[in-house]
Amino acid sequence: MSFARMALATLMSFTAVSALQAEEITKLRIATEGAYPPFNYTGSDGVLTGFDVEIGNALCAEMKVECEWGTQEWDGMIPGLVAGKYDAIIASMSITDERLERISFSRSYYNTPSTVAVPKDSPVTEITPEALDGLLIGAQGGTTHSVVAEEIYSDSDVSLYPTSEEYKLDIENGRLDAVIDDLGVLQSWIDSDEGSCCKIIGSLPIQPELHGQGIGVGVRKGQEELAERFSEAILAIRANGTYKTINDKYFSQDAFGE
Amino acid sequence: MNDVSLPSQQSYVQPKTIEPQTPPPAPKHRPWTSTRVVGTTWLTLWIAAGLGIIWFLLNSNHVALVFGGEGLLPVSITHNATFLSRYGEKFISGFFVTLQLVSVSMLLGVLLSIPLTIMRMSKSRILGGIAYAYVYFFRGTPLLAQVFLLYYGAGSFREPLQSVDLWWFFRDAWNCAILAFTLNTAAYQVEILRGSIESMPKGQWEAADALGLPKWLTFWKIILPQALIVSLRPYGNEIILMIKGSAIVAIITIYDLMGETRRAFSRTYDFQAYVWAAIAYLVMVETLRRAWDRIEDRLTRHLKR
């Protein structure tokens, strides 16, 4: 066989494989952060779990594909997807305009507001910018909630932490006057033993220009078909009650929004 | 009597000291050896990479030439540097945070390293042991772990710290960062200083002793000035390592150059954030390198001919 022929054969086999992939995806690699309880975290048994993970598994079952989970640090989440290290992000990622410039999203699978928590003995009772004026607020860097914190509480001192674990440590030990994050995150923390230091004082109304359009599944640009399949699967598990089962396991109210 | 014939003044000067030389050989044609090919290829790749980075920066700020127009020149340059206009100021503030963090902790590290070096070199086994253990711990564990432990660790000892009235110090992330960096760099500086002092030949001590100079004067006037020349380059290395090592400080909420870079990147997903950060770190290190060359020239001027 001549070299040219061999090259042609190899090329053809590649195109055949990629054509097959376009037709039917049987295996998906999904990335999550793994440090954002209750949405995604490593449980005491060392297994990745949480609302995102369970919803993701339900979506995969609905789409009849095999899913393989991996963890990725938050800052590298989108570059990793673009570089093809995994095929989808299910990591409580808000659908914002800035992110839409780089990747595509499915429809939202939950939408919960930014919420403020303070120590139990705090005199602060309101979440207006005036009430938190000059106070130290903690948030996770790179999240929509941190953008909200810096925009709305511009007269407060906003400290940004690598993950939610660190700001929880710092409000427990009294370095912070308040923390801001997703309602689900703060609620499940306050309901646990570790969160006994603090209380929730209120949630901000959802502002689409800051919060985006809720939390979606991220996929690479050009894979809108895959995003569409995720959207359909989200509506399907919403309709057949799987969503409610998972939702009730984690939250007292419906997280779906809208 | 004047018959001793003095040589005439003329004879001291030789009429011809240098014979006419043949002209230098014409430059030989340098052959393209494999080494030269490899070297040239590498250089070309480096130049291409440099141009690529410049092109990338121009491109991501939408710099373009526009022909025709109303100005004096027929060509004008347009740009749309939204990234820089939005995050440029934060980058500069992060740059100064890094500078401040490194310079303050380096200076405090110098102050702390002197008594520790004396302890480390003393004959007392207890003092030597303490200094040895200190250096052993701070050189043997990662800076990241030290910063994390000091900041979040201090947080979990809030009540004891409050009872000794030290909580105000540990509450502030900046203080914790300075303290951790100082403790870390002092450990390295002890070894730099000790090594350079011990590299001085014993004969210097003995010669000074023979002249009847007291020990402290020998150390201060003879040993230390020479030891500092030896330790100059290692000190420069230590500062460079601290500049780059300080990039981890964002884990305790201090937004230095790297922290601002990551913040800008997490908002825009624009890789030019990291390119600017690399350039800023390069500028810092290059400035330091040039300053160090000057200082070395000055300190070793007696060794030059």
* Pick from A90, A84, A38, A51: nearest CA to A69: A90
CATH number of A101's domain:
3.40.190.10
What was the ipTM of the complex prediction? 0.76
Pick the more confident residue, B87 or B12. B87
Cα-based distances in Å from A111 to A65, A205, B101, B207:
25, 11, 40, 81
Distance CA A191, CA A173 (A): 18
Tell me, what CATH number does B176's domain have? 1.10.3720.10
Residues A150 and A107 in one domain: no
- A138: chain B residues, CB-CB within 8 Å: 253
Q: Same structural domain for residues A37 and A104?
A: yes
Q: What domain count does chain A have?
A: 2
The answer to whether residues A34 and A101 belong to one domain is: yes
Q: Is residue B119 part of a domain?
A: yes
Number of domains into which chain B is organized: 1
Q: Do A75 and B269 touch (CB under 8 A)?
A: no
| Domain assignment present for A3 | no
Predicted confidence at residue B173, as pLDDT, reads 93
CA B65 – CA A244 distance, rounded (Å): 57
B122-171 pLDDT tens trace: 999 999 999 999 999 999 999 999 999 999 999 888 889 989 999 999 99
With respect to residue A14, please indicate whether it lies within any of the assigned structural domains.
no
Residue B64 lies in a domain: no
Same domain, A27 and A93: yes
Distance (Å, rounded) from C-alpha B138 to C-alpha B147? 11
Give per-residue pLDDT as tens, A50-83.
999 999 999 999 999 999 999 999 888 999 999 9
Candidate from B71-85, B108-122, B200-214, B226-240 with smallest mean pLDDT: B71-85
Closest CA to A39 of A232, A137, A181: A181
Domain with B228 in it: 89-303
Q: Are residues A218 and A206 in the same domain?
A: no
Tell me, yes or no, whether A191 and A124 share the same domain: yes
Smallest Cα distance from A66 to chain B, Å:
29
Q: Does residue B3 surpass a pLDDT of 60?
A: no
> For residue A167, is it within any domain?
yes
Residue B180 falls within a domain, yes or no?
yes
User: Do A55 and A97 sit in the same domain of this protein?
Assistant: yes
d(CA B195, CA A98): 53
pLDDT in tens, B220-248: 999 999 999 999 999 999 999 999 999 99
Same domain (yes/no): A107, A194? no
Q: pTM surpassing 0.90? A: no
CA-based nearest residue in chain B for residue A76: B266
d(CA B97, nearest CA chain A) in Å: 15
Residue at B50 is within a domain: no
Give the closest-approach CA distance of A159 to chain B in angstroms.
6
Residue A255 within a domain = no
A130 in any annotated domain:
yes
**Does A20 have pLDDT greater than 50?**
no
Q: Which of A73, A175, A179 to mutate to test the interface with B (most CBs of B within 10 A)?
A: A175
Question: Could you list the residue range(s) of the whole structural domain that residue A146 is in?
Answer: 114-210
User: Which residues of chain B approach chain A closer than 8 Å at the C-beta?
Assistant: 152, 155-156, 158, 171, 173, 250-251, 253, 255, 259, 262-263, 265-269
Q: Are residues A69 and A194 in the same domain?
A: no
Domain-embedded: residue B71: no
- Kindly report the average pLDDT of chain A as a whole number: 88
With respect to residue B214, please indicate whether it lies within any of the assigned structural domains. yes
Q: Which residues of B210-239 are buried (b: 16+ CB within 10 A; e: fewer)?
A: eeebeeeebbeebbeebbeebbbeebbebb
Whether A184 maps to a domain, the answer reads yes
* A202/A232 same-domain check: no
Cβ of B155 within 8 Å of Cβ of A170? The answer is yes
Q: Confirm whether A67 is domain-assigned.
A: yes
Give the DSSP H or E segment for A178: strand A178-182
**Where residue A253 falls among pLDDT bands split at 50, 70, 90?**
confident
Residue B23 inside a domain? The answer is: no
Residues A128 and A197 in one domain: yes
Q: Which of A144, A145, A111, A116 is nearest to A253 (CA)?
A: A111
- The answer, yes or no, to whether the previous bond of B20 is cis (omega within 30 of 0) is no
Residue type, B120: R
A7 part of a folded domain = no
Strand order across the A114-119 sheet: A157-161, A136-140, A178-182, A114-119, A198-203
Cα(B158)–Cα(A185) distance, integer angstroms: 25
Q: Do A77 and A37 have their domain in common?
A: yes
Widest CA span in chain A:
83
CA angle A233, A238, A244 (to 5 degrees): 135
> Would the pLDDT of B13 be above 80?
no
